[in-house]
A and B are shown apart, each in its own frame.
Chain A
Amino acid sequence: MTYDWTLWIVFILIGLATTLPRASFIVLGQRATLPEGLQKALRYAPAAALAAIVAPDVVLVGGALEVFNPKLAAAFAAVLATQLSRNPWLPFIVGMGVLWALR
């Protein structure tokens, strides 16, 4: 797959969506505070978003639900490796290994 110049606009927009949250309170300083309820709710954002990206990728094949597929098996293997080992490479080795073996 090749990409045209619009990819750079996407990078800049993602960059803004990254730098603005990071810089927010560091730049604003004491002029602003974050309500405690909102702080609590925001803690769940990364987990919800990560799952919302991962789940469709591993259970859908060509847009249709397919529970027995190599990607889901590879994902399970990666979850197990993450749970059972502290080696940072293992989930990638096991996950990619299962993916390649089942295809």
Chain B
Amino acid sequence: MSPNFREGAREGFRVFLPLSVGLVPWALVTGMTMGGVGFTPLQAMGMNVIVFAGTAQLGTLPLIAAGLPVWLIVVTAFVLNLRFIIFSAALARGFHGVPRAERWLAGHLLTDGVFATCLEKMLSHEDPRWRLGYYLAPSLWSWLLWQVFAFCGVMAAGSIPKGWSLEFMATIALIVLLVPMARLRPMLLAAVTGGTLAVLLRGMPLRLGVIVAIVGGIAAGFAAERWQGKGR
């Protein structure tokens, strides 16, 4: 580890530490939901390590529990992760001069919180080792918090009776993510369209209704944004 890397890491950690507390309830809820749908602690922690993504985990758990087809679960996870393509594109310049293997690691560890915290410095600081440290320290810290508190959640779920419907916590978590997004008018329209179509098209073969609903929601939001822009 070069001194520059260490200096960047220290700075990144210092900036991110207070914000990282926000991860704790998410990790606990994700852990409790994984326990609630009937995963063993090994299965739950397996998912937590392999996937390492709150939204993708919480979004797919109801689908896994309902026994939906694998392709639908995977496509849904991918759609929930599409925002990362935008984040990844925005950060890409910050990884100029960083070796390939470390970039894969950085990519795997990308989270919403670290993206929001690191974007500006990743694009402005000159030294690639400093930037990598600044990015990796909060990312690894997030990873650790995520594993520890998800494990606590899984263990807590084990001591709660089945009839308490803990799996509904995934739905509540998705609502908590959705509500602040829907404060923007086009985003609200995307959500209402997506939700309504998913209900109306539930009878479509191969569960294609969910995919049509998502595409319809994206189209509605995009169209509303265009229309709003022209009105101004």
Contacts and interface: CB of A to CB of B under 8 A. Distances in A.
Describe A's contact surface by its main secondary structure: helix
Given A27-B100, A60-B202, A75-B175, A22 B221 contact: no
Contacts of B22: 88
Nearest to A100: B164
A59 B199 contact: yes
B60 A14 contact: yes
A25 interface: yes
A40 B85 CA distance: 12
B175 A91 contact: yes
A57 B65 CA distance: 12
A44 B221 contact: yes
Interface stretch (B10-18, B141-149, B188-196): B188-196
A49 B86 contact: no
Contact of A50 (B75, B89, B174): B174
B165 interface: yes
B51 A22 contact: no
A16 to B, nearest CB: 8
A13 B63 CA distance: 14
A42 B222 CA distance: 9
Interface in A8-61: 8-15, 17-19, 21-30, 33-34, 39-60
B179 A22 contact: no
B39 A45 contact: no
Contacts of A79: 175, 179
Contacts of B194: 47-52, 55
A44 B217 contact: yes
A7 interface: yes
Contacts, number: 274
Most buried by B among A12, A15, A89: A15
A44 B218 CA distance: 5
Contact of A96 (B63, B168, B178, B202): B168
A1 B38 contact: yes
Contact of A22 (B59, B81, B176): B81
Given A30-B92, A43-B86, A47-B181, A52 B210 contact: yes
Interface in A76-93: 78-79, 82-83, 88-89, 91-92
Given A1-B37, A18-B51, A48-B218, A92 B83 contact: no
A81 to B, nearest CB: 9
Interface of B: 22, 25, 29, 37-39, 43, 46-47, 50-53, 55-57, 59-60, 62-65, 70, 73-89, 91-93, 95-96, 100, 103-104, 106-110, 164-165, 168-169, 171-182, 186-188, 190-199, 202, 210, 213-222, 225
Interface of A: 1-3, 6-15, 17-19, 21-30, 33-34, 39-60, 63, 65, 71, 74-75, 78-79, 82-83, 88-89, 91-92, 95-96, 99-100
14 contacts: A1-B38, A8-B46, A14-B73, A47-B181, A47-B190, A54-B174, A55-B199, A59-B199, A60-B199, A63-B202, A75-B175, A78-B172, A82-B179, A99-B168
